[in-house]
Amino acid sequence: MPNTPPSSPRAQKTTTVLSTPETHLPLETWKERLLGKTFQLVDASGIYQLKDSNEPEIRWPAMVEFLGPGMFQDCDYEPERLRVFLDVSGVARGVEYG
């Protein structure tokens, strides 16, 4: 989206691939860890982190996708991909695999 600052969760859809992934945890575990937490975009590359620095570091699965309001969601199904749905403030409101 044009003229959207990088700090906005609307800035872009991102899929992050990490070199040391967490194992495929149950969805309920991810919901407990993430829902209600605020994330911020670190830079224009699309990497997100928890806004509260007191939170323990999260080891993400190999594929993570952050989606804000109005972002395009891929139609392909990747059972190992964790999707984190953010509201306009960057708060995680939904989590799913797919």
What would the pLDDT profile of 80-91 be if each residue is shown by its tens digit? 899 999 999 999
User: Distance between CA 15 and CA 55 in Å, rounded?
Assistant: 22
What is the fold, at CATH topology level, of the domain defined by 14-97? Answer: Trypsin Inhibitor V; Chain A (3.30.10)
Q: Which residues are 95's β-sheet partners? A: 84
Most confident of 14-23, 39-48, 87-96: 87-96
Q: Is this model's pTM higher than 0.75 or not?
A: no
In the chain, what are the domain boundaries? 14-97
Condensed to tens digits (0 to 9), the pLDDT of residues 34-50 reads 999 999 888 776 678 88
Distance of CA 33 to the CA centre of its chain: 12
